[in-house]
């Protein structure tokens, strides 16, 4: 860092690494809870005597409150900082995990998922907001991608590793352990994390120079009047909504009924998809900063997603590896979300950057919540039953995923280019170690 001695630079980088490790771990838990119901689907159906609509509702309860809390989470991050917002919310998520683990019925399980979703909803936006203080603007897309990469480890853990763990323990025991870990993580965040470098005794690294450029409340009003941010909202809805609406609960039944895979093979397909989803945002963030472009990468992600869902839903004879390839492409397409975050931040007044990112993030999880219930309703109309005696017709469900993705692609045609280096001949910035 400029103006620091070598020892101070070393201490700064070590503290920054520790802070973002803890914050990213909170995001790991958010991703774990997001995806876990797809592996638990059969067990939940039997344990709670849940219908397809009930399963979809239990899974979607997380997304409903998560999506609803994204704007408040952005406001909280802008107002009280990352340390308190993430530290306290991790404790709430831990309590929700315990409620879910002890649930005797669908209603209590839904309450547990609601509390989980509320608790973990603060982690991502607050961490991205903190990145605006601890890293420079031209690093933002790359850092955002790394945060998502680490967070996606939670989705990976909710695939094959969770399926493997459930061979040795019940799903209830597994979620009791997760709840306890969340409470310990909350304590560590409250003790160690600092909102800004100044609070830790260092000079600013990348705090927005115009933090109060238009004021807090005028900044919020300005964000809602920027068309590009709403287009990013639609693009994120179309990229992430179909994937998590499908992978979050219905992928395993689809792969088992339509492609004749075993439960373990279906979980392996999802794990591979989530593994690529974990790494691809870091790559696309780095690539965006490298080439100085954003808009074209969002367009390409939406177009490829549309084509991929059409092939997945309506081409027969794909087999295990074909299913794995298409699932991984679907996961990779989601990486375009990191560019929608960066674009929204670029378009917004600096004083409302957290709000802008949270608004776009709301679109992602609104899409997942609505599509999980929509797909459950369509499948209930077309033969789905918890006991699996009747193979459901997935045609209308898959057609819905294609349609939503296509709408997202159309929205990208009007998203403006915003990368700081896009319209200049600036020399490529040297990034601090990340």
Burial of 33 per CB tally in 10 Å (0-12, 13-18, 19+):
buried
Res 234: pLDDT: 93
Going by the DSSP 8-state scheme, the letter that residue 103 receives in this structure is: -
Burial of 423 per CB tally in 10 Å (0-12, 13-18, 19+):
exposed
Going by the DSSP 8-state scheme, the letter that residue 169 receives in this structure is: S
Minimal CA–CA distance to 322: which of 242, 258, 233? 258
Domain boundaries, the chain: 13-196+211-412
143-192 per-position pLDDT tens digit: 888 887 887 778 778 877 888 888 888 888 888 998 999 999 999 999 99
Supply the mean pLDDT for the chain: 81
**Mean pLDDT in residue range 69-74:** 80
CATH code reported for the domain at 13-196+211-412: 1.20.1250.20
Res 183: pLDDT: 94
**Mean pLDDT in residue range 29-50:** 78
What is the C-alpha to C-alpha distance for residues 143 and 330, in angstroms, rounded to an integer? 22
Burial of 387 per CB tally in 10 Å (0-12, 13-18, 19+):
exposed
401 and 251 Cβ atoms separated by less than 8 Å: no
SS3 assignment, position 204: coil
What is the C-alpha to C-alpha distance for residues 372 and 370, in angstroms, rounded to an integer? 6
**Crossing angle (nearest 10°) for helices 140-157 and 263-291:** 170
φ, ψ of residue 420 to 5 degrees: the values are -55, -30
Res 423: pLDDT: 52
Q: Which of 44-58, 152-166, 401-415 has the highest mean pLDDT?
A: 401-415
What is the C-alpha to C-alpha distance for residues 318 and 314, in angstroms, rounded to an integer? 10
Furthest C-alpha separation in the chain: 69
- The token duo for 193 is 């994390």
**Crossing angle (nearest 10°) for helices 263-291 and 37-47:** 150
Q: Which residues, 6+ apart, have CB-to-CB distance to 84 below 8 Å?
A: 190
């Amino acid at each position: 860092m400029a103006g620091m001695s070598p020892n101070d630079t070393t201490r700064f980088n070590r503290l920054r690494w520790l802070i973002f490790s803890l914050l990213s771990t909170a995001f790991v838990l958010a991703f774990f809870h997001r995806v876990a119901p797809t592996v638990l689907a059969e067990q939940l159906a039997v344990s709670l005597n849940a219908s397809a609509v009930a399963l979809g509702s239990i899974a979607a309860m997380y997304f409903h409150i998560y999506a609803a809390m994204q704007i408040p989470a952005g406001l909280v991050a802008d107002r009280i900082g990352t340390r308190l917002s993430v530290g306290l919310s991790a404790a709430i998520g831990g309590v929700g995990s315990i409620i879910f683990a002890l649930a005797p019925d669908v209603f209590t399980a839904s309450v547990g998922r609601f509390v989980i979703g509320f608790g973990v909803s603060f982690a991502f936006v607050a961490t991205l907001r903190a990145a605006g203080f601890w890293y420079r603007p031209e690093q933002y897309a790359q850092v955002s991608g790394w945060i998502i990469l680490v967070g996606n480890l939670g989705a990976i853990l909710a695939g094959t590793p969770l399926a493997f763990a459930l061979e040795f323990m019940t799903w209830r025991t597994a979620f009791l352990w997760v709840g306890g870990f969340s409470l310990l993580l909350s304590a560590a965040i409250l003790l160690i994390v600092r909102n800004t470098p100044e609070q830790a005794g260092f000079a600013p690294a990348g705090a927005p120079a115009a933090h109060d450029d238009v004021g807090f409340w005028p900044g919020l009003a300005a964000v809602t009047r920027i068309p590009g941010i709403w287009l990013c909202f639609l693009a994120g809805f179309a990229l992430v909504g179909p994937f998590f609406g499908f992978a979050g609960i219905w992928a395993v039944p689809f792969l088992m009924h339509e492609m004749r895979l075993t439960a373990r093979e279906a979980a392996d397909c999802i794990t591979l998809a989530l593994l690529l989803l974990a790494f691809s945002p870091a790559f696309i963030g780095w690539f965006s900063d490298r080439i100085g472009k954003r808009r074209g990468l969002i367009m390409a992600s939406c177009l490829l997603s549309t084509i991929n869902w059409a092939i997945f839903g309506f081409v027969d004879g794909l087999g295990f590896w074909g299913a794995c390839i298409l699932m991984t492409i679907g996961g990779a397409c989601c990486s375009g979300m990191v560019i929608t975050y960066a674009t929204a931040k670029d378009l917004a007044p600096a004083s409302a950057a957290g709000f802008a990112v949270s608004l776009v993030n709301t679109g992602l999880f609104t899409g997942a919540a609505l599509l999980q219930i929509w797909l459950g309703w369509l499948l209930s109309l077309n033969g789905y039953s918890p006991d699996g005696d009747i193979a459901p017709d997935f045609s209308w469900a898959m057609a819905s995923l294609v349609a939503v993705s296509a709408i997202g692609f159309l929205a990208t045609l009007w998203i403006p280019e915003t990368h700081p280096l896009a319209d200049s001949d600036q020399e490529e910035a040297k990034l601090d170690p990340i």
